[in-house]
Structures are given as C-alpha cells and as structure tokens.
Structure 1
C-alpha cells in the first residue's frame, strides 16, 4: 500500500464528539480513491460504482494529520477496484479502512461504461516505474 496524500483535520471536520466526522472521512476516501484511480487508468472519466466494507477503528482529532494509503486490488474491463487505509500520520494508528471501492470508466458523452484498456499487470509495472522515477529524484 502506498501512502500518497495527507490532510489536516480541522475543527469544521469534527462531529459532536470532537472527532473526525465519519461522513467527512468517507468524502475524503472517495475523493482520494478517485484521484488514485484516475492516475492509474489515465482518464478523468470515472464514476464511483461501489464502496464495500468500511471499518472505523480509532478517532482522528482536530490538528491530527491523516494519510491515505491506496492500492489496486483488481482490474476489470471497464473498472478498477481499490482499497483505502486512512491512518494517523504521527502514530500510524488506523483510523478507517475502506475495501472494494469500485470505479468505472464511462464514455464522456453517453455516460455508459467503456473499456479502459489496462490490466493489473500493466498497472503494477507502471507503479514500479513511477516509484523508481521518484526515488531517483532524491
């Protein structure tokens, strides 16, 4: 799992118990997962089809920095399935885990599903090459 982005929990992100509101966490998960899928499939024409099991493990408080780990689980003809782990940047404690998040590529005009032309193997190779390029920049 690659941790690709971070967010700062602000007071307006909190629920009545002064912890990160679950709805806000889900909004962030959908957005971060969509960005990940868009980068993987190299297309902006994706829609969220399904979010499977969601497990909340520990609270995030105002001022906490949370990070999002993402990985590709499966690639279909028109879809990509990813998992997203949200954890506290400082403590590494899991805040939330969302599994089986499915995005479908759609035709921009008809909004009907359309093939993306990628395989899991191609995406894994693409990710390895990207990591190598990033490591060379250090």
Structure 2
C-alpha cells in the first residue's frame, strides 16, 4: 500500500522541499530499520492495526530495500529488538542518519510508504515492537 495520493495539510520542517536528505537521528525522531519484504509487510500490518495511519514510514527501492519507521526520540532504547532490526539513534559515541524524501517530486530511491499525516505523529514504538514480535 502506498499513500502517495494522501494530502498533507502541513509540512514538517524536517521534510526536504525536493529530493531527499539525511536527518540526524535523535533530533526530531529516531528510526527503526527493517530490510526487504519483511519491512514492507510490517508497515502494512501497522497500517491495518491503526486504520491506515501508522505514522511516517519511508521505503528504499534499491540495495537492501530498507523500510524506516520514524519513532519518537529515545523510544527504542532499553528494549529488546528481534534480529534483523536496526535502531537508528544518536547518543554518546553514536550518530545515525535517517534518509527522508520530499513529499512530492523525484526522490528515487526513497519514497513514503506512509506519509506523516498529523503534526507530531510518529510510529508508536510499542505497537511496532508488538507487530514485529507477532511476525516471528
């Protein structure tokens, strides 16, 4: 499922106007990365569980075909995560960057699987973990 035709009434400052940019994790959000078809299936399961609004989810069309779930800052720490999940966060001796595409125009290889639809709304970390654990 792709929400390219869903309108957003506001555009967060962290979304680039064109193309895509890397955003430092730990500022506006952290991210959880799940590669390949498993990431796409997880995103669609979250959409089903949330009535079509799982929060912002970015997908990559090449390489590992990663799916990035944008979650609240600090919400991934001190929690067990299954194998195959990469936490993108920042802290002492750790800096991670998350690719973020524009809402419109040429952004290949990135696109929004689910766009941000409400200001300040991110993927719910505990719901994400629950959905991940149910896939195993």
TM-score by length of 1: 0.27
Q: Which has the higher helix share?
A: 1
Instruction: Name which structure has the greater RCO, CA cutoff 8 Å, separation 6+.
Output: 2
Question: Where is the strand percentage greater, Structure 1 or Structure 2?
Answer: 1
Q: Which has the larger radius of gyration?
A: 1
TM-score by length of 2: 0.27
